[in-house]
Amino acid sequence: MLRCPFGRASGLTKGAHFFIFENQVMKMMYTRILLLALVVLGWSAAGAQDARFAQFYASPLTLNPAMTGIFAGQSRFAVNYRTLYSSLLGDEAYKTIAGSFDYRYQVGRMDYVGIGVVALRDQVGASNFSRTEGGLSASYLKHLGGGRYRSSDQYLVVGAQLGSGQRGFDAEKLWFSNQFFVDEASRQAYIDYAASSQESFADLRTNLYLDFNAGLLWYALFDDDASIYVGGAMFHLTEPNISFMEDREEQLYRKWVAHAGGQLPLTREISLLPAASVMGQGPAFSATGGLNLRYANRDWRDVAIRAGAWGHLSNQSDKMGLDAVIFSAILEMERWQLGFSYDMTTSLLAGANNSRGAFEMSLIYTQPEKARQRRVSCPRF
């Protein structure tokens, strides 16, 4: 049984007087524990929710396996980085990085196969608790119909991912109640990191587990700047065991995802890109929705900018609530797409972090198709 683990940042320096420890340090520890509890509740009601991106539309292979190969080009490389609650936790903030590469090739007159690889690492807290996942992704794009002028050009896509994952932490960065001492003679309180915690941490990593995800996507294009798409996916279908104890079993909750969006042209240069993503995992629920306004210069260099606003809902304690408002800005320049977003906290935690939530960055590079190949019809995300 674990006894009162704390991060090093919660430890006391030698020489601190006992009355200071009682009146000030305990207050600091209480505040810290309260803030950490709020963070944990806001992030995952069960402590097992997967990492998510505010720019979910810019992390295609972590959103839905059926997004593999869905882009206007020959190949695509995407990387995403997110840091959450750094204003509260400093270097111990939630940090998530993901990367993917996918490629599409033709298998029929108008059908295609997409293949790719995806990896994600999530790290948080004083213990450097981490989740690392990676695997292979594949999809099949079936053409459903469409005219010569791309009138209602439709595709149905089925996708799957097979991979593995592992979780771990660094026990050296934690202290426990057995390492807390009070010198009655000098009335000093301190933490002795060299003392035994009387805990057994033989397994700082879980076993590698096999993971399987699957998804579907339907989309239709009506013009270069007019499209609609709807998709859904199931993750962790194998419900792998993520327990650190060899004689115990803790299954990872399955996760379901539903997402939809499209592009609505307003003028020749301006269009709207609304989108929404809803997901549930065990008792945890998360939903993000909003839109980006896109302006394209219609030049041969194909430069465009986007700006948008989004809202994020989650189940906070026993009720649903808005916990963040997200502002995004994206630059498109030929083969590159660079995006930034910032989450402003609107939940009860806003009073503690001054509404400073998360910063996120995305980068996508798309290799164009060869001149002799038929241009594939894909929506803009």
Q: 93: domain CATH number?
A: 2.40.160.40
Work out how many domains the chain is built from and give that number: 1
Classify strands 188-191 and 209-223 as parallel, antiparallel or unpaired: unpaired
Q: Per DSSP, what are the bridge partners of residue 136? A: 117, 162
pLDDT at site 23? 41
pLDDT tens string 234-281: 999 999 998 887 778 889 999 999 999 999 999 999 999 999 999 999
Amino acid letter, 222: F
d(CA 240, CA 294): 41
**Is residue 31 one of the residues assigned to a domain?**
no
Alpha helix stretches (DSSP H) within the chain: 18-20, 26-43, 60-63, 86-89, 350-353
Structural domain boundaries enclosing 322: 44-169+204-367
3-state helix, strand, coil in the chain (%, to 5): 15, 50, 35
Sign of CA dihedral 200, 201, 206, 207: negative
What's the pLDDT at 205? 83
Which two three-digit tokens encode residue 277?
A: 């993503």
pLDDT at 24: 39
For residue 341, what are its two tokens?
């977003």
Q: How far apart are CA 276 and CA 289, in angstroms?
A: 4
Instruction: Write out the two tokens for 336.
Output: 């590159």
pLDDT at residue 329 in the model:
98
Does residue 50 lie in a domain region? yes
How is residue 368 written in tokens?
Answer: 């164009």
Residue 139 located in a structural domain: yes
Record the tokens describing residue 11, joined without a space: 């430890």
How many angstroms separate the CA atoms of 274 and 290, rounded? 6
**For position 375, what pLDDT does the model report?**
66
In a domain, residue 247? The reply is yes
Residue 36 lies in a domain: no
CA–CA separation, 63 and 215 (whole Å): 9
pLDDT for 27 equals: 40
Give whole-number Cα distances, 342 to 34, 54, 142, in Å: 24, 9, 37
At 37 the pLDDT is 42
CA gap 84, 122 in Å, rounded: 11
User: Is residue 20 one of the residues assigned to a domain?
Assistant: no
For the CA atoms of 121, 259, 214, 283, the dihedral, rounded to the nearest 10 degrees, stands at 70
CA distance 43 to 144: 40
Confidence at residue 209, expressed as pLDDT on a 0 to 100 scale: 93
Residue 261: inside a domain, yes or no? yes
pLDDT tens string for the chain (381 positions)? 333 344 443 333 333 333 333 443 344 443 444 344 434 443 333 345 788 999 999 999 999 999 999 998 999 999 999 998 777 777 778 899 999 999 999 998 889 999 999 999 998 877 778 899 999 999 999 999 875 555 578 999 999 999 999 998 877 777 777 777 887 777 788 777 777 777 766 568 888 999 999 999 999 999 888 999 999 999 999 999 988 877 788 899 999 999 999 999 999 999 999 999 999 999 899 999 999 999 998 776 789 999 999 999 998 767 888 989 999 999 999 899 999 999 998 887 777 777 788 899 999 999 988 765 566 778 999
Report the helix count and the strand count for the chain, using DSSP H and E. 5, 18
Closest CA to 261 of 301, 229, 308, 294: 229
Sequence-separated (6 or more) residues with CB below 8 Å from residue 294: 263, 270, 271, 272, 273, 304, 305, 306, 380
Q: What is the pLDDT of residue 292?
A: 98
3-class SS at 58?
Answer: helix
CB-count burial class (<10 Å; 0-12, 13-18, 19+) for 169: buried
Per DSSP (E only), the strands in 112-254 are 112-124, 129-145, 153-168, 174-175, 180-183, 188-191, 209-223, 226-235
Residue 19 resides in a domain: no
Q: Which positions ≥6 away from 269 have C-beta within 8 Å?
A: 295, 296, 297, 298
